[in-house]
Copies of this chain bind each other. A is one copy, B any other.
């Protein structure tokens, strides 16, 4: 009972444009039931309509084509479900970020100016378990979580909040070196323990989600630049309260530090 349909007919029934159907053929997401080897004409079967509708919905959800292909190729319903669940979770995260951005934008436009409480500190040499990597800016969150999971898995006596430092290139060029560390008891026997050198920093405490961290960096960087006290080197972050404590973003407390030289 399967009717062979030309691309135009299948387009009308599936509501995917002819261009889109050709594109899906090229990418192997939706192959025509038959292709005339002489004319190149594509022929579709009515049985392919539900597949087309499914693809359309995944694309409405902005799932990348390659992934749609993978989901459709998934043999069992369970792994399909896993794909979809993962995608929905990403979408929820994005929604949360959007809501944060809206709130933050309102604050900015209302000129909700924080008077930054900037403190100069000298951090003494510290014994710490550290992980360093060269990463991409968009891969940073996954890497960050993984690295701290690894550090907390070590059985050393923790001697301070989780922290990290990040090369400027990471923000200027979208990729650069990052280090996260956990201060530990100097007497630890973990062979991975290193001693971090001392640093002089201008620091600022930031309350709230990390979407707004740029505001803190703006205030701190402006302060340092206008006084001409900046020094080369990575910026520092101390995660006083964070996801690592299972806290909500609104409750996070982060201390950021900008390297300085000279006497303030």
Contacts and interface: CB of A to CB of B under 8 A. Distances in A.
Interface of A: 1-3, 5, 8-9, 11-15, 17-19, 46, 49-50, 52-54, 56-58, 60-61, 77, 80, 84, 88, 91, 95, 97-98, 101-102, 104-105, 108-109, 168, 171-174, 211, 213-215, 217-218, 221-222, 225-226, 228, 230, 235
Query: How many subunits of this chain does the assembly comprise?
Result: 2
A215 B60 CA distance: 14
A109 B80 CA distance: 9
Contacts of A215: 53
Nearest to A46: B222
Contact of A18 (B1, B172, B222): B172
Nearest to A5: B225
A57 B101 contact: yes
By Cβ-Cβ distance, the 7 closest A-B pairs, closest first, are: A13-B221, A60-B101, A57-B105, A15-B214, A49-B218, A46-B222, A3-B225
Contacts of A211: 60
A211 to B, nearest CB: 7
8 contacts: A2-B226, A8-B168, A8-B172, A18-B172, A60-B97, A60-B98, A60-B101, A61-B98
A88 B12 CA distance: 33
Contacts of A171: 11-12, 15, 17
B218 A12 contact: no
B17 A226 contact: no
